[in-house]
Structure formats: C-alpha cells, structure tokens
Amino acid sequence: MRHGSERAPASARDGAPEPAPGPDGARERAAVLLRGASKTYGKGHAAVHALREADLEVPEGELVVLLGPSGSGKTTLLNLIGGIEPPTAGQVVAGGRDISRLDEDGRTAYRRDTVGFVFQFFNLVPSLTALENVRLVAELTGRGDRERSAAALAAVGLAERGGRFPAQLSGGEQQRVAIARAIAKDPALLLCDEPTGALDLDTGRGVLRVLQDLNGEGRTVMVVTHNAAIASMAHRVVRMRSGRIVEVARNAAPAPAEEVTW
Ligand SMILES: Nc1ncnc2c1ncn2[C@@H]1O[C@H](COP(=O)(O)OP(=O)(O)OP(=O)(O)O)[C@@H](O)[C@H]1O
C-alpha cells in the first residue's frame, strides 16, 4: 500500500477551525475536525491525560482506522467525536458544528441524530428479534418505521434473518444486526470500537465488508482497533501513543475487505 505521511502538529491551534484547501484551492468539507482536543480524567496526582492536544481532520466520506496500543486514547478520541463526553480543552467539530461546547442535552441530541455506534460486543436485546432490535433504536430518532429498519437489515445482508432472536444468529450476524441498528437512522458518522474484536477472521472480514460497503455509499466511517491489518482498507490511518496522535497517514489504494488478513 502507498502512504503519504504527515506528522501531526504538536500543539493546539487557536481560532476558528478551517478545513485544509484542496488541490484547486477549494476547501473540502470536513466530517470531523479536532483542534487541540484534550481529555483529562481526575485531578492533581490522580489525573490521567487520556488525550493530549489532538489535531485531526477527516474529510467527508472517508474510512479512517485508529490504531494504537491499549490505553493510548483511541476510545477516548472516538467518544469525543461521538459526543459521549466533552473535551477538557480544545475543539471538536462534526459536520461543521462545534460539539465541544454542547451541554449534556445538546450532546444527547447530537448523538441521537447524527452518530451511529458499533461496539465490540454487539449489545443486542436478547428478548427482541433482529428486526425489533433495529427498530428499537431507530424509533428514538423518529425513524423507526418497519420499512427503514428492514432496509437497514437488508443493507447488511440479513434481509431473511429479521425474525430471529440474537441467540439464533452467529457472532458475525449479530454484529451485522448491530451495524443495521446503527445505520437505520441514517447517521452522518458511523463510529466503530473494535467491531471485529470478538470475531474470527472470516466472520470479521464479513463485517469489514459491510463497513466498506457503507463507506462506499458515502458515509464517513471511523474504526478503532488493535488490529493493524485492518489499516490496509482505510483511506486514512491515525496512530496513537500515550494519548497523542503520533501519525496520520493517507492510503492511496485501500484494500478490499476480503484481502484483509490477520
Ligand atoms: N472514565 C475514565 N476515567 C479515568 N480514566 C479513564 C477513563 N476512560 C479512560 N481512561 C484512561 O484513559 C487512558 C486512555 O484510555 P482509552 O480507553 O481511550 O484507550 P484505548 O487506546 O482505547 O485502550 P484499549 O485499546 O485498551 O481500549 C487509559 O489510561 C484509561 O485508563
């Protein structure tokens, strides 16, 4: 794979964030923009600097993989972008909107309307069918109609499995239901934390294929993982260490999910 590599700036920048100019001078719209975003948990001697002065720009429609050792701040970064938590300092802008200044209610509305989350453990409700699981979350956004939920299941290749309960589905199928649940509300951003962490290679590839297809439709997808192999399918690879973004690399030729191996 070919990489164009850029070092992450070491310090925060002041002023309003602006997307970088494209080759023709036009400014492409950033799906996500971080400027000096930091997150510290606790205070004084007990303070944990989970994220330090992160600068990052993700253009709309990219598939981004975030890599780094355990504790390097990947989930913290994803949580700030997803509006689960506010930064302690700096700016987080999503879809042109500064979400770092939102209060709890504002972040809840932002998450509900704009972000789909996929986690390592699928977190499906065991007493509901696949279709009901998808509808349950879509209803919170007022987009819980049966057709939309069934279409989301079809988009992940599970059109025929809507009536099954989670226990009647394989791990990979359960994760695809979780992805359908995340996309049924048509979010601008799909944020995935170790989506293949609980899956074997073949099943994991199937899930990556679904994520790549959804990205191919124009959706911005960010994937946090320990698994460096997944980086080969990304447009952009962000490497983290000790709470810092230490490298952002562009991949000019992302591999198809089927070629990812570990
Ligand atoms: N709510 C919290 N309170 C205190 N410390 C936290 C909290 N959340 C995360 N941390 C700490 O922040 C640091 C970064 O954690 P984070 O979960 O972002 O790392 P990670 O790279 O996602 O790790 P992993 O790959 O193991 O999930 C770690 O030292 C972690 O212990």
Residue 27: per-residue pLDDT: 47
Task: Tell me, in angstroms, the distance from the centre of ligand 1 to residue 262's CA.
Answer: 25
pLDDT over 60 at 19, yes or no: no
Q: Does the beta carbon of 38 sit less than 6 angstroms from any atom of ligand 1?
A: no
Which of 159, 163, 156, 211 lies closest to 189, judged by CA?
Answer: 211
Atom of ligand 1 nearest to the CA of 51: 14
Residue 144: per-residue pLDDT: 65
Based on its alpha-carbon atoms, the radius of gyration of the chain, rounded to whole angstroms, reads 18
Residue 141: per-residue pLDDT: 81
Give me 3's structure tokens: 């990489």
User: Residue 28: which pLDDT band, with cuts at 50, 70 and 90?
Assistant: low
First to last CA, the chain: 16
CB neighbourhood size of 231 (10 A)? 24
Task: Tell me, in angstroms, the distance from the centre of ligand 1 to residue 86's CA.
Answer: 15
> Alpha-carbon distance 15 to 228, whole Å?
34
Query: Residue 192's beta-bridge partner residues?
Result: 118, 223
Residue 138: per-residue pLDDT: 82
Give me 169's structure tokens: 């589905």
Contact 121, 193 (CB under 8 A): no
Query: Is residue 70 a part of any domain in this protein?
Result: yes
> Alpha-carbon distance 234 to 125, whole Å?
31
pLDDT, tens digit, 9 for 90 and up, residues 94-146: 989 999 999 999 999 999 999 999 999 989 999 999 999 999 988 888 776 78
Instruction: Express as a percent the part of the chain with pLDDT over 90.
Output: 77
Give me 121's structure tokens: 């453990």
Q: Does the beta carbon of 75 sit less than 6 angstroms from any atom of ligand 1?
A: yes
pLDDT over 60 at 197, yes or no: yes
Which of 251, 259, 231 lies closest to 1, judged by CA?
Answer: 251
Query: Is residue 221 a part of any domain in this protein?
Result: yes
User: Residue 213: which pLDDT band, with cuts at 50, 70 and 90?
Assistant: very high
Query: Is residue 262 a part of any domain in this protein?
Result: no
Q: Whose CA is nearest to atom 17 of ligand 1?
A: 75
Residue 7: per-residue pLDDT: 43
ipTM entry: 0.97
Residue 118 sits at the vertex; the CA angle it makes with 115 and 122, to the nearest 5 degrees, is 145
Query: Is residue 152 a part of any domain in this protein?
Result: yes
Query: Is residue 91 a part of any domain in this protein?
Result: no
Q: Does the beta carbon of 192 sit less than 6 angstroms from any atom of ligand 1?
A: no
Query: Is residue 14 a part of any domain in this protein?
Result: no
The domain of 138 spans 61-79+109-252
pLDDT, tens digit, 9 for 90 and up, residues 215-232: 999 999 999 999 999 999
Q: Write the DSSP symbol of residue 182.
A: H
> Alpha-carbon distance 72 to 50, whole Å?
7
Q: What total number of domains does the chain contain?
A: 1
CATH number at residue 189: 3.40.50.300
**Which pTM value belongs to this model?**
0.88
Q: What is the mean pLDDT of residues 11-40?
A: 65
Query: Is residue 180 a part of any domain in this protein?
Result: yes
Give per-residue burial for 83-119: e unless 16+ CB within 10 Å, then b.
bbebbbebbbbbbeeebbebeeeebeebbeebbbbbb
3-state helix, strand, coil in the chain (%, to 5): 35, 25, 40
Chain centroid to CA 52: 19
Q: Write the DSSP symbol of residue 96.
A: T
Helices (H) and strands (E) in the chain — how many of each?
Answer: 6, 11
pLDDT over 80 at 245, yes or no: yes
Task: Tell me, in angstroms, the distance from the centre of ligand 1 to residue 80's CA.
Answer: 12
Residue 242: per-residue pLDDT: 97
Give me 50's structure tokens: 């989970």
pLDDT, tens digit, 9 for 90 and up, residues 40-92: 999 999 999 999 999 999 999 999 999 999 999 999 999 999 999 999 999 99
Query: Is residue 2 a part of any domain in this protein?
Result: no
